[in-house]
Amino acid sequence: MSRAVLSLGSNLGDRLGFLKSVLDGLGPAVVAVSSVYETEPWGVEDQPDFLNAVCTVDDPARDHWAWLHAGQELERAAGRVRERRWGPRTLDVDVVTVDGVRSDDPELLLPHPGTPTRATVLIPWLEIDPEAELPGHGLVRDLLAALPAADRAAVRRRPDLSL
Ligand SMILES: Nc1ncnc2c1ncn2[C@@H]1O[C@H](COP(=O)(O)OP(=O)(O)OP(=O)(O)O)[C@@H](O)[C@H]1O
Ligand SMILES: Nc1nc2c(c(=O)[nH]1)N=C(CO)CN2
């Protein structure tokens, strides 16, 4: 069994459509999907707001590399081009965790090192798994509680949108 947590983001073009393309592409592997969140950009702040969501996926035939490659293939299909780090993109698929796998390969860092400080990942993940734990970092709810209130306030659920 290989269960992964994926973080999805889009801030260019048909944002909701690009997020949906991930769920369509992964099909029966999708186990749970969060609400859609409208989020203020972090990193590079001079860019449009993102839509973010998190999903969990499960497929005995896929290992952690296969989840990375599946995400990259979906990014390509969304017309993503290599741009500046943390800049705008049609679709970003990050592999947050895969079971308890730890990796320091720069092509696939696990758990994804940005996770502990990103409310854009922690809030949707907590929604679909209230007991979630980030390997090596503790409970997601505790990580989220440790973030500045402004980071949490910058992540707003969009009840009018769904995946
Ligand atoms: N856990 C991971 N999930 C997705 N990509 C990863 C992961 N670890 C390393 N990478 C590598 O990161 C590169 C893609 O980086 P990308 O341009 O998406 O970074 P970014 O989204 O701007 O920043 P960040 O990685 O901090 O979210 C790819 O080469 C990919 O191999
Ligand atoms: N709100 C928000 N900001 C970002 C995001 C993202 O997914 N959401 N992704 C980035 C590049 O990985 C850079 N900044």
Indicate the domain borders of the chain.
3-157
Closest C-alpha to ligand 2, atom 12: 86
The yes/no answer to whether this complex scores an ipTM above 0.85 is: yes
pLDDT digits (tens, 9 = 90+) for 73-86: 999 999 987 678 88
Confidence of residue 154 (pLDDT cuts 50, 70, 90): very high
Residue 130 binned pLDDT confidence (cut-offs 50, 70, 90)? very high
Candidate of 6, 104, 112 to mutate for ligand 1, largest count of ligand atoms within 8 Å of Cβ: 112
In angstroms, what is the span from residue 146 Cα to ligand 1's centroid? Answer: 24
Percentage of the chain lying above the pLDDT 90 cut = 93
pLDDT at 50 over 70: yes
pTM above 0.90, yes or no: yes
- Per the CB < 8 A criterion, the answer to whether 11 and 89 are in contact is yes
| Residue with CA nearest ligand 1 atom 16 | 85
CATH class of 3-157: alpha beta
Side-chain-side CA neighbours of residue 120 (13 Å): 19
pLDDT for 87 = 85
